[in-house]
Structure 1
Amino acid sequence: MAAARTALLPLLLLCLLLAAAPSAWAARFACNATAPRANTCQALISYSPPNGTATATLAAVRALFQLRSHRGLLAANGLPLSTPPTAPAPTPLRVRLPCLCSGGAGATFQRPTYRVRAGDTLDAIARGVFAGLVTFQDIAAANNVSDPNKVAVGQQLWIPVPCSCDPVAGQPVVHYTYVVPAGSSVAGIAQEFGTTEETILAVNKMPDAKSLLAGQVLDVPLRACGSNISNTAVDRNLLVPNGTYILTANNCVMCGCSSSTWQLDCQPTQGLSSSFCPVAKCGDMFLGNTSSTSSCETTKCSYGGYTNTTSFTILANLTTSNVCNAAGMSPTAQPAHSSAFRLEPARWRWTELVVSLHVVLLCLGYLRQD
């Protein structure tokens, strides 16, 4: 009897370790948009390259996520277009990927993919390569892998990063897939990204702020700047949050989010051939030019989208802004994650506590057996 109990001690220790560790769970972002063009969008993904890995440069991150252009990666992070591909990747890095809504949930469309190497496991791919954006269960389900411990070298896997295209409170937003750093609080995350605790809790269906976990994949909706883009323009659904910019109109126009008016601030992209990019003007004013009509009002030649129906044309129109009324409406900047905000220790969810207790009781049951 004593020998049997002694032999079972390692099992008890293993059970206690399993109970003490937070269980891995897959993030599922609600994505209910079904109307044509509304069920697809561009989402932002937070990625922190693991220390000492080959994904620590911008070029390596671009290759990992199969991004079409280096410029697009720079734009998503508000980096100068002169930044070389060999530059170290900021932490966390924002990656813009297409998102598709299907069955009430959203996942990145077709990208990224990953080719299995010798020694890889699904868990190592999920944690070590993609920094916890997905779990091994996510990858297994998306690729019909019946045994997560058995993947073939050379096998191509789709990595379904959660995302969303849904409006929030009736307003279009850019959803940011964010891996929660250790010690974060909902209040700190809300302050950092210019939203509210209530919005984060509601979007993520969290019972309260205390249920936040380190490593949790969180849906953070980012307010986007409004625009005067025509409904007939190719890029009519263009959404740009503060802290990023987007190259549109075949890269001829660079649009950022104004920190004073919550309107798109678009300029011709510097360094491109004038023979390729058509000139956009509002009468005598060029795209992006402004003039003051009074101490409070300014008139601007604003971007109106582009068309490709008969020829490549960049649209522009005059808009008037009242800077006095907009003075108190500056958007909160959205920098890389900072520890400057108040941090609180993450706490377990009640469900995880219940599961952990069940595991412990199950292990104690083994010890009671003769």
Structure 2
Amino acid sequence: MGSSEAALLRSLPLLLLASLLASLLPPSTALGFRCSNSSSAAATCQSLAGYVSPNATTLAAVQALFGVKHLHSILGANNLPLSTPASFNVSANQTIVVPFNCSCSNATGVSNRRPVYTVRSGDVLYHIAREVFSGLVVYQDIRQVNGIVNESLIEIGQKLWVPLPCSCDDVDGEEVVHYAHVVAAGSSVAAIAAQFNVSQSTLMDINGIADVASLQAGKVLDVPRKACSSAIRNDSLDSYLHIANGTYVFTANDCVMCTCDAANNWTLRCQPSQLKPSNQSACPSMQCEGSNLLLGNSTSTSCNHTSCAYAGYMNQTILTVLVNDNTCPVSNSFAMKDSFRAFSWNFFLILILPLLSFHHIQ
């Protein structure tokens, strides 16, 4: 008997157990989150997922597992200092927010062909979904997108696309960043709504929850995190860019850093980044046309505030726009004109009323 046959025999009990567990699990729900924007520019977007590490690990390991290209993308999603090293320790059961690209089609959204997991010795789909990726997907979804007929027969070294759930839809008329949240044991709809500053009714509606008592541990919820408003143009290469409160991202080939903070009145704040451009060339000019202001700079008088805001990028050009916030009171000349008109009308009445009264007496 060869070594491969012996290894197969040793793994049979595990395979049989996995098959038994799979047969006891409920069938897979619809793949991904609800996403109706499948025929517009919003068919792609940035989404987030809450990965709960089953063991102590590092940011570098999380980055590799989810195929995140740049460490600074994970740092921004978790609002960690940009100086945080890849070796930063992640404790067991600690949640790390992972950013990824979302793609919508057929009214649902899943991660765009990422992450890709390489099967190891002893792996089965249930273990990969439930433990390796902390329940962000169910094993049936991995089987479906990879065309696997028998979930118990996967090979060492096989590459599997793990379709994380996501969406690009606006919620209640507002731009949001959709966050995949795995319900912890003992949690509730009210607690999750309070944690992410979203209403219970909204949370229940987009997740099809009819009764708060029906919420189960391990369920993946679509949590809409409010995004900052921006001046990014629809024809920009990053027109899809929505940034959630308490996070920052890099865009325009890493030349621009944008931050979302509710303290700034939910307005996106962007400035030149300190990173080396990802395209290895120098960053283009970031000066607002018709002004000496650079991106992120502003000037103020007692009641007028003008800033140079980010409007996107295209063709090696960073787009900017001047944004004015004028709180100056109405000009005194207008007030004087209104007062004069009121005085003239009152004076006319004073003159005409006695004459009318005299004519009536006659």
Correspondence for 1:141: 144
1:173 pairs with one of 171, 176, 200: 176
Give every structure 1 segment of 4 or more consecutive aligned residues whose post-TM-superposition deviation is greater than 6 Å.
Answer: none
CA distance in 1 between counterparts of 2:193 and 2:325 reads 28
SS at match of 1:234: coil
2:246–2:261 CA contact under 8 A, matched in 1: no
Q: Deviations over 1:95-130 (max 9, x none)?
A: 111111122211111111111111111111111210
Larger radius of gyration: 2
TM-score by length of 2: 0.76
2:58 corresponds to 1:57: yes
Contact 2:44–2:240 (CA under 8 A) maintained in structure 1:
no
How far apart are the structure 2 equivalents of 1:126 and 1:34? Answer: 26
Of structures 1 and 2, the one with the larger relative CO (CA 8 A, separation 6+) is 1
Tell me if the contact between 1:26 and 1:134 (Cα under 8 Å) persists in the aligned partners: no
The one-character-per-residue Cα deviations of 1:283-330 (angstroms, maximum 9, x if unpaired) are 1222111233335x532111121121xxx2222222134799xxxxxx
SS in 2 for 1:245: strand
Quote the offset at 1:237 in angstroms: 2.3
Instruction: Rate the CA distance shift 1:141–1:106 in 2: closer, same or farther, 3 A.
Output: same
Does residue 1:303 correspond to 2:304, yes or no? no
Among 102, 105, 116, which residue is 1:113 paired with?
A: 116
TM-score (norm 1): 0.75
SS at match of 2:128: helix
Distance change (3 Å), C-alpha of 1:298 and 1:185: farther
Per-residue deviation, residues 253-297 of structure 1 (Å, max 9, x unmatched)? 1001132311111111125489812231231222111233335x5
| One-letter code aligned to 1:318 | L
**Mapping of residues 311-350 of structure 1, within 5 Å:** 312-321=316-325
- Report the AA paired with residue 269 of structure 1: S
Percent identical pairs in the alignment equals 47
Contact 1:195–1:221 (8 Å) recurs in 2: yes
> Which 5+ residue runs of structure 1 have no aligned equivalent?
1-17, 325-370
1:230 paired with 2:233, answer: yes
Deviation at residue 49 of structure 1 after TM alignment:
1.1
Match of 1:353 in 2: none
Structure 1 CA distance, aligned partners of 2:147 and 2:314?
41
Residue of 27, 35, 38 corresponding to 1:34: 38
Report how many residues are paired. Answer: 298
| 1:74 equivalent in alignment to 2:75 | yes
Correspondent of 1:290 among 298, 306, 309: 298
More helix by share: 2
Contact 1:116–1:157 (CA<8 Å) still a contact in 2?
yes
State how far apart, in whole Å, the 1-side matches of 2:208 and 2:302 are: 47
Give per-residue Cα distances to partners, 1:30-56, cap 9 Å, x unaligned. 11212242211111111011124xxx2
SS in 1 for 2:299: strand
